[in-house]
A and B are shown apart, each in its own frame.
Chain A
Amino acid sequence: GAVVSQHPSWVICKSGTSVKIECRSLDFQATTMFWYRQFPKQSLMLMATSNEGSKATYEQGVEKDKFLINHASLTLSTLTVTSAHPEDSSFYICSAPRASGGETQYFGPGTRLLVL
């Protein structure tokens, strides 16, 4: 099956700093990637859709200046949490459909962010 990786798997940072999370499709090209956030005992909440070569599309209530998304190539999307605060601590997960417009998505293993 398709493989999606994330880096780092775990990050701890001080309040006010910025953190970058990478999402890579390892054996396929992804024109679209999705970023989710998961709180403890909660479902995955879609944050934004990352589009290669164009601006990301953010879900309602997600601050685009807070969560910067860059989809610089067909295999890499990055999520930067800017000026992180403790309430940004969460589990961030990316996914990508193997084929453009495909319905089945392949998920990365997630990144645990802890902001002190």
Chain B
Amino acid sequence: GDSVTQMEGPVTLSEEAFLTINCTYTATGYPSLFWYVQYPGEGLQLLLKATKADDKGSNKGFEATYRKETTSFHLEKGSVQVSDSAVYFCALSELGGGSNYKLTFGKGTLLTVNP
């Protein structure tokens, strides 16, 4: 079945440091790829997505490129802020039974950014 493997945390960085969170996947078809973020006390929010190979998703300074050849979707940000402290989930989406897309998640990576 489909699976997502992401870098285990926790990750602790100083403000303005460079961030990379690795994510690789296995899938039978051609999934869309997502990064979701969960801020403390809140639900998961979509951060960015890419729907086909070589697409780059970006939002709030975060970027990730869909690499089919390496089955990867690594999350990067050039300069993190304290407000970026959260849990980040990599996920893939494929059509399941019927007409619904199903999400498969990685385990999540806790990021803490210190001032």
A residues within 8 Å of B by Cβ? Answer: 1, 4, 6, 32, 34, 41-44, 46, 49, 57, 93, 95, 97, 100-110
Contact A110 B43 (CB under 8 A): yes
CB distance from A112 to the nearest CB of B (A): 11
Given A34-B102, A108-B43, 4 extra CB contacts under 8 A: A44-B44, A93-B43, A104-B34, A110-B43
B residues within 8 Å of A by Cβ? Answer: 4, 32, 34, 36, 41-46, 49, 51, 89, 93, 96-108
Pick from A4, A32, A34, A41: contact of B43, CB below 8 A: A4
Distance, CA A104 to CA B97, complexed state (A) = 17
Give chain A residues whose Cβ lies under 8 Å from the Cβ of B41: 109
Contact B107 A102 (CB under 8 A): no
Give chain A residues whose Cβ lies under 8 Å from the Cβ of B51: 103
CB distance from A98 to the nearest CB of B (A): 11
Contact A93 B44 (CB under 8 A): yes
CB distance from B50 to the nearest CB of A (A): 11
Distance, CA A32 to CA B96, complexed state (A) = 13
CB distance from B30 to the nearest CB of A (A): 12
Give chain A residues whose Cβ lies under 8 Å from the Cβ of B34: 104
Contact A103 B42 (CB under 8 A): no
Distance, CA A24 to CA B99, complexed state (A) = 21
29 A-B Cβ contacts within 8 A?
Answer: A1-B45, A4-B43, A32-B100, A34-B103, A42-B107, A43-B4, A43-B89, A43-B105, A43-B107, A44-B44, A44-B89, A44-B103, A46-B103, A46-B104, A49-B100, A57-B98, A93-B43, A97-B100, A100-B99, A101-B100, A102-B101, A103-B32, A103-B93, A103-B101, A104-B34, A104-B46, A105-B46, A109-B42, A109-B43
